[in-house]
Amino acid sequence: MAQLPYIAAIDAGIHQEMRRDPSVLYFGQNLATTENHEFVAAYGHDRVRVTPISETAEIGMAIGAAMAGFRPVVELYMAEFMLVAMDQVLNEAPKFRYMSGGQVKVPLVLKAGFGFACGWAGQHTGSLTALFMGVPGLKVVVPSTAADAKGLMATSIRDDNPVVFMHHYLLTLEHGEVPDGEHLVPFGQAAIRRTGGDVTLVATGWMVNRALAAAEALAKEGIQAEVIDPRTVAPLDLDTILKSVAKTGRLVVVDQAPRHATVGGIIAADVVEHGFESLRAPIIQVNARDTTVPYSEPLEAYVIPDEARICAAVRKVCKTAR
Amino acid sequence: MSVPNAQRQIDMLTKMLRIREFEERVKRTFTDHPGVIRGHTHLADGAEASIVGSLSHFKKGDAALATYRCHGYPIALGTDTKAMMAEILGRVDGLCKGLGGSMHLTDVKKGFLGTSGIVGAGIPHAAGAAWAAQIRKKREVVFCFFGDGASKQGAFAETLNIASLWKLPVIFVMENNGYNVVTTSAQEDANAAAGQPLSIKAKSFAMPGVTVDGTDPLAVAAAVGKAVRRARRGDGPTLVESKVYRLSAHGNIIAPPGVPLHYPEHEAITVFGKREEYEAALRGDPVPRFRGILVQNGTLTAAAADAITQKVVAEMEAAVKFAVASPYPKLESALDHVYA
């Protein structure tokens, strides 16, 4: 085990796979501009390349290279940059296998940072995860710890499908224990970050930390929250969530996106459909307020879900429980 | 530059005839078997010489990608026309198991990697496959087919820039058929409006650009051949503007369920009232013209040409018969192949 920052753990996952599999490619903007760049030095220019600011071509070329037998990882930096190329992300990559009747596979990773709520204003702060999770053919990964960042990146690269790898920018320098050597985290297995019997909190990305902080505060009031981090939202480990709700009878979903664009809303709908009899109180969603993320610091803090709002939601479901 | 020998020219004519007769059957199926073809089909009639001339340079290990107007390329590459027709009818024996249809024909075994329904979207896919070929270093190339309309999408500019910068082994074959659905090139292309060939766009990306008569398979083969040799040498891509005239309307009529589908008259007539332009294009139909040239110059006799046609017609009628008789896929198969 080594203490690594989240961002270095992602790189460790890419290194792990590039070392073992010569078909893994890594390319994107502002990457590998000099010969001594660590990935160029290790794997050469055939496999590691800088691109112009051409998201449609980058993602489209990843699709073509994938269909031709390679496993490209596209460095997109900001999740919003995928919006420039949404046809390739939503309408090309996830559909070629299907439309060809299973003749091709499209193993690629779209590595994109998101949620940079630290003064980046309206266009670099979005939490777009839910936008991708409903697209058949895409897998969507949201690591919240350094260990998962490495292990989920490695699994993303080995997966035979297009994977949107959403790393949270506010976790960039968060350190954590990361297993040395080969490390893989399976898709579709949620992590229970904290156990508790009174309420289930489900959160992804940076919101996992906020949910955990809220859980600690609530424990002082005698409320024990179970905090679940799905880790991958497509596939989604609904079973772990349903089992927890069966135990607690209460669910609060926390999501950094505005109300109608959340992973949490989809989880809430699934729990209502499949776990209604377990629920002792209405589900509450704690989301970003319905607005563009503002620049000014207090306004930004007001918009993004915080510990106080999570705690208030938990107190409410505990009070209204049947 | 070597001219294809007599047998290769006869093979080219045969492939052109096979594409034409296949698509004639697609067209006729709308009336012969109403309702069995759904959605939107797009025919390559008028572009057969361009397709066959370009792919005459295709070698094992190469790849080709195209748009939704995709019936011609797999035929030129040797795909089973029964499986193609069954796909267009959405049947279990379809090339793509009925999951793709007319717009998404794919035959990986023959090197036909995929087709996008979005006009410019496949251009970067081809460049990505060319990057793969460049890494493999086996002198393989990728043929990228698209229409003139696609050159106005960002994917075109972005991809040609990277392809040239990286010297990717890809040949961009832009089939300029004069119309983007109902818009003429001069209405939507600054180069066309200025009277310039569309191949001039290559200059912006520091790659060779050439305009060729896409109705002459030998001229296309010569121009694309040069581009293929350049790509195999590792010198990078070429933009080939192949000028053709689409002989059918953009596609069958767009209609809600219950309205019988058919091919309307060409937009030159229905929208612009230019019947003479269309009839002149029909007189220049590349398929009978190439047949006429080969018969006239003694490459094959009229009787031999007729025999080829009869054989091709029989093949395509069998394809329709096969497709109509093929059952629909099992309902649960709609859930197959979502993930690998």
Q: Which residues of B touch A101 (CB under 8 A)?
A: 94-100, 106, 337
Any A CB within 8 A of B171 CB: no
Any A CB within 8 A of B90 CB: no
User: Radius of gyration of chain B from Cα atoms?
Assistant: 19
Q: How far is B65 from chain A (nearest CA, A)?
A: 9
- Is residue B123 within 8 A of residue B172, CB to CB? The reply is yes
Interchain contact, A63 vs B128, CB within 8 Å: yes
A185 lies in some domain? no
| Interval B268-291: pLDDT, tens | 999 999 999 999 999 999 999 999
Q: Which residues of A touch B107 (CB under 8 A)?
A: 103
Nearest-CA neighbor of B154 among B130, B184, B120, B188?
A: B120
**Residue A174 and residue A97 share a domain:** yes
Kindly report the CATH class assigned to B6-246+260-323: alpha beta
Q: Of B107, B162, B339, which is closest to A57 when you measure between CB atoms? A: B162
pLDDT for A231: 98
Beta bridge partners of B142: B63, B170
**Residue A146 and residue A243 share a domain:** no
Could you tell me how many CB contacts below 8 A there are between chain A and chain B?
148
CATH number at residue A242: 3.40.50.920
Q: What is the four-CA torsion angle of A8, A14, A15, A20, rounded to 10 degrees?
A: 160
Residue A246, both tokens: 């069966």
* Whether the predicted pLDDT of B185 surpasses 80: yes
Q: Specify whether A55 is catalytic.
A: yes
- Is residue A144 within 8 A of residue A229, CB to CB? The reply is yes
| Interval A67-110: pLDDT, tens | 999 999 999 999 999 999 999 999 999 999 999 999 999 999 99
Task: Give the strands of the sheet with A71-78, arranged side by side.
Answer: A48-51, A24-29, A71-78, A108-114, A162-168, A139-141, A232-234
Residue B163 Cα distances to B190, B231, B241, angstroms: 23, 11, 17
DSSP conformation letters of B79-99? --HHHHHHHHTT-TTSTTTTS
Give me the mean pLDDT over the A132-153 stretch: 98
How far is residue B332 CA from its own chain's centroid? Answer: 32
Q: Of A46, A52, A100, which is closest to B96 when you measure between CB atoms? A: A100
CA–CA separation, B138 vs B133, rounded Å? 7
Interchain contact, B97 vs A101, CB within 8 Å: yes
- What is the span of the domain harbouring residue A289? 191-319
- DSSP summary character for residue B331: G
**Residue A131 and residue A77 share a domain:** yes
Interchain contact, A64 vs B124, CB within 8 Å: yes
Q: Which residues of B touch A236 (CB under 8 A)?
A: none
For chain B, the distance separating the N- and C-terminal CA atoms, rounded to the nearest angstrom, is 44
pLDDT for B149: 96
**Residue A98 and residue A54 share a domain:** yes
- Is residue B172 within 8 A of residue B142, CB to CB? The reply is no
Q: Of A65, A87, A107, which is closest to B129 when you measure between CB atoms? A: A65
* Whether the predicted pLDDT of A322 surpasses 90: no
Q: How far is B329 from chain A (nearest CA, A)?
A: 12
Among the candidates A145, A178, A211, a domain finishes at A178
Interchain contact, B99 vs A101, CB within 8 Å: yes
Q: How far is A168 from chain B (nearest CA, A)?
A: 26
> For all residues of chain B together, what is the average pLDDT?
97
Interchain contact, A57 vs B158, CB within 8 Å: yes
A186 lies in some domain? no
The pLDDT > 90 percentage for chain B reads 97
Interchain contact, B118 vs A51, CB within 8 Å: no
**Residue A212 and residue A151 share a domain:** no
* Whether the predicted pLDDT of B2 surpasses 90: no
| Interval B224-233: pLDDT, tens | 999 999 999 9
Domain boundaries, chain B: 6-246+260-323
> For all residues of chain A together, what is the average pLDDT?
97
Q: Which residue has the tokens 């007319």?
A: B102
pLDDT for B3: 87
Nearest-CA neighbor of A74 among A113, A126, A33, A123?
A: A113
Any A CB within 8 A of B127 CB: yes
A 10 A CB-CB count for A301 gives 11
**Residue A216 and residue A164 share a domain:** no
The set of residues, in sequence order, having a beta carbon less than 8 Å from that of B183 and lying 6+ positions away, is B149
- Is residue B267 within 8 A of residue B253, CB to CB? The reply is no
> What are the backbone angles phi and psi of residue B174, rounded to the nearest 5°?
-95, 110
Any A CB within 8 A of B256 CB: no
Interchain contact, B159 vs A60, CB within 8 Å: yes
Beta bridge partners of B65: B114, B144
CA–CA separation, B144 vs A316, rounded Å? 59
Residue of A nearest to B110 (CA): A103
Q: How far is A10 from chain B (nearest CA, A)?
A: 24
Any A CB within 8 A of B99 CB: yes
Residue A16, both tokens: 């792990």
| Interval B90-121: pLDDT, tens | 999 999 999 999 999 999 999 999 999 999 99
The residue from A15, A17, A75, A124 that is catalytic is A124
CATH number at residue A32: 3.40.50.970
CA–CA separation, A104 vs B109, rounded Å? 10
A29 lies in some domain? yes
pLDDT for A321: 63
pLDDT for A320: 79
Q: Of B142, B162, B340, which is closest to A52 when you measure between CB atoms? A: B162
Any B CB within 8 A of A67 CB: yes
* Whether the predicted pLDDT of A233 surpasses 60: yes
Interchain contact, A88 vs B96, CB within 8 Å: no
The set of residues, in sequence order, having a beta carbon less than 8 Å from that of B168 and lying 6+ positions away, is B127, B130, B131, B133, B134, B142, B162, B231, B236, B237
| Interval B296-331: pLDDT, tens | 999 999 999 999 999 999 999 999 999 999 999 999
**Residue A164 and residue A20 share a domain:** yes
- DSSP summary character for residue B39: S
**Residue A241 and residue A137 share a domain:** no
Residue B250, both tokens: 């953009």
pLDDT for B315: 98
Count structural domains, chain A. Answer: 2
**Residue A152 and residue A22 share a domain:** yes
* Whether the predicted pLDDT of B1 surpasses 60: no
- The better pLDDT of the pair B183, A322 is held by B183
CA–CA separation, A72 vs A39, rounded Å? 14
pLDDT for B39: 94
| Interval B188-220: pLDDT, tens | 999 999 999 999 999 999 999 999 999 999 999
**Residue A219 and residue A137 share a domain:** no
**Residue A122 and residue A249 share a domain:** no
- The better pLDDT of the pair A322, B330 is held by B330
| Interval A15-60: pLDDT, tens | 999 999 999 999 999 999 999 999 999 999 999 999 999 999 999 9
Interchain contact, A99 vs B155, CB within 8 Å: no
* Whether the predicted pLDDT of A264 surpasses 90: yes
Amino acid at B20: R
Any B CB within 8 A of A99 CB: yes
Q: Specify whether A300 is catalytic.
A: no
Beta bridge partners of A232: A141
CA–CA separation, A146 vs A13, rounded Å? 10
For chain A, the distance separating the N- and C-terminal CA atoms, rounded to the nearest angstrom, is 45
A174 lies in some domain? yes
Nearest-CA neighbor of A223 among A235, A215, A211?
A: A215
* Whether the predicted pLDDT of B252 surpasses 70: yes
Any B CB within 8 A of A158 CB: no
Q: Which residue has the tokens 């080709």?
A: B64
3-state secondary structure chain A: CEEEEHHHHHHHHHHHHHHHCCCEEEEEECCCCCCCCHHHHHHCCCCEEEECCCHHHHHHHHHHHHHCCCEEEEEEEEHHHHHHHHHHHHHHCCCHHHHCCCCCCCCEEEEEEECCCCCCCCCCCCCCHHHHHCCCCCEEECCCCHHHHHHHHHHHHHCCCEEEEEEEHHHCCCEEEECCCCCCCCCCCCEEEECCCCEEEEECCHHHHHHHHHHHHHHCCCCCEEEEECCEEECECHHHHHHHHHHHCCEEEEEEEEHHHCHHHHHHHHHHHHHHHHCCCCCEEEEECCCCCCCCHHHHHHHCCCHHHHHHHHHHHHHCCC
Residue of B nearest to A92 (CA): B116
Interchain contact, B94 vs A67, CB within 8 Å: no
Nearest-CA neighbor of A200 among A187, A185, A218?
A: A218
A183 lies in some domain? no
ipTM above 0.90, yes or no: yes
